[in-house]
Copies of this chain bind each other. A is one copy, B any other.
């Protein structure tokens, strides 16, 4: 089990150089979990308190709009996952986060991170670079998005998450792209 945290440390090291003290602090605080398929990590109305590192498995974030289940994003393994708006502003979430297959996650809470940021500047750097990366991805992905046809949207997603068809079903992918399942089915031919 402890091995999982080491994977997370390795991940952080890709962003910022870690002192031994910072590493020890993270190892001491991090929670390791192996989660069954369908586990809910965060739900609507609750403030998302955790920032997760998904070591293995797949996670889907979704919300309900007019009673319909809309996929927000699908996260393959080795990604940082949370309900960004809720986590960053510590206000109630509109999202659900669920595992769509058996998954291993390492997590710390928002409060723990705030303390780590103050104590270890190199972790504050990690925090900054992490969000910057997410921001750059989003800024790029959605540029001109709504002027694309259903087919072009699908192609863009394939480029962003090549194995998306292996880790998510059509309905989830379609709602993530903002198109109907039927249209997506027709588009990919």
Contacts and interface: CB of A to CB of B under 8 A. Distances in A.
Contacts of A70: 144, 147
A145 B179 CA distance: 11
Contacts of A178: 145-147
A101 interface: no
A72 B143 contact: yes
B88 A144 contact: no
B143 A63 contact: yes
Nearest to A127: B128
B144 A63 contact: yes
Interface residues of A, number: 36
Interface string A45-71: 000000000000000000101101010
Interface stretch (A24-32, A129-137, A165-173): A129-137
Contacts of A134: 135
A67 to B, nearest CB: 12
**Chain A contact residues: helix, strand, loop or mixed:** helix
Contacts of A131: 128, 131-132, 135
A37 interface: no
Contacts of A72: 143
Interface stretch (A1-9, A117-125, A155-163): A117-125
25 contacts: A63-B143, A68-B147, A70-B144, A84-B135, A85-B136, A85-B143, A88-B132, A88-B135, A117-B128, A124-B124, A124-B125, A127-B128, A128-B128, A131-B131, A131-B132, A131-B135, A135-B138, A138-B138, A138-B139, A145-B146, A146-B146, A146-B177, A146-B178, A146-B179, A147-B178
